[in-house]
Amino acid sequence: MTYLSDVAALGRKDLRVELRGRDTLPAMLLFVLSALVVFHFAIPDDAGDTAAYGLLWVAIVFTALLGLARAWVPEQEHGVLEGLLLAPCDRSAIWLGKALATLAFLLASQAVALPAFVLFFEPLDMTALAGVLLADVGICAVGSLMSAMAAAGRARELLLPLLFLPLAIPLIVGGVGSAVSPDGERFLLFLLLYDAVFAVLSWASFEYVVTE
């Protein structure tokens, strides 16, 4: 099972690099809290309760974008990505390790954001939380790939949101639906479908995005 141990080694490396550098995770935490506070002032009093859930998802997606924009930066310093590409490990393992590490950061930021949301706005039930988890997987899978694509180009901070947001729309529908709709399970199933399709697609196509 060398593939999995490669992924583990790479994922661990990402966690270690972030813990040492300590720039992305604190920024994500602060950003999501600030966003929630901004939303309090941005929503008029008579807007429905459900509007808050929509805004939660906006906050999640943009926090994720913050993290994703920085995802491949360590690989670009000193050209390390080439070092990884030279190694005999499967290229998709590089993507998987990165996606898992990004997922860890996103979950960490949500460990703060979700309680804050419940405190400031509305309660969250199990379906809603399951929706957050499932959507996180999709966000990190697709986002890691798009981030790698954008990283090769010129205006990478501008490009990533453009590439990512249309793909994130179904995730937002799934996430909000699981929180708001009485038939939340349908949305969970939908998120599962999204994850299956796009995670596999991302896993298979990473190789083509990083090689010449």
* x-or-dash string of contact with another protein, 3-32, rule CB under 8 A: --xx--xx--x--xx--xx-----------
Number of residues near another protein (by CB under 8 A):
62
| Side chain identity, residue 99 | A
Q: Which of 175, 174, 168 is nearest to 146 (CA)?
A: 168
CB–CB of 69/160 below 8 Å?
Answer: yes
CB of 212 to another protein, least distance (A): 4
* Binds another protein by CB under 8 A, chosen from 30, 66, 84, 133: 84
- Return d(Cα 155, Cα 159) in angstroms, integer: 6
* Binds another protein by CB under 8 A, chosen from 145, 147, 188, 199: 145
- Establish if 1 lies at the interface with another protein (CB under 8 A): no
By beta-carbon proximity to another protein, the closer residue of 27 and 163 is 163
By beta-carbon proximity to another protein, the closer residue of 33 and 69 is 69
Sorted by sequence, the CB contacts under 8 Å of residue 64 that are 6+ apart come out as 106, 136, 139, 140, 143
Q: Which of residues 36-55 bind another protein (CB under 8 A)?
A: 50
CB of 187 to another protein, least distance (A): 6
Nearest 5°: the CA angle 2, 78, 137 is: 50
Q: Which of 77, 130, 75, 80 is nearest to 98 (CA)?
A: 75
Q: Which of residues 159-198 bind another protein (CB under 8 A)?
A: 159, 162-163, 165-167, 169-170, 173-174, 176-177, 180-181, 183, 186-187, 190, 193-194, 197-198
Query: What would the DSSP string read from start to end of 20-82?
Result: HH-SHHHHHHHHHHHHHHHHHHHS-TTS-HHHHHHHHHHHHHHHHHHHHHTTTHHHHGGGHHH
State the residues that interact with another protein by CB under 8 A. 2, 5-6, 9-10, 13, 16-17, 20-21, 50, 74, 77-80, 82-89, 142, 145, 149-150, 152-156, 158-159, 162-163, 165-167, 169-170, 173-174, 176-177, 180-181, 183, 186-187, 190, 193-194, 197-198, 201, 205, 208-209, 211-212
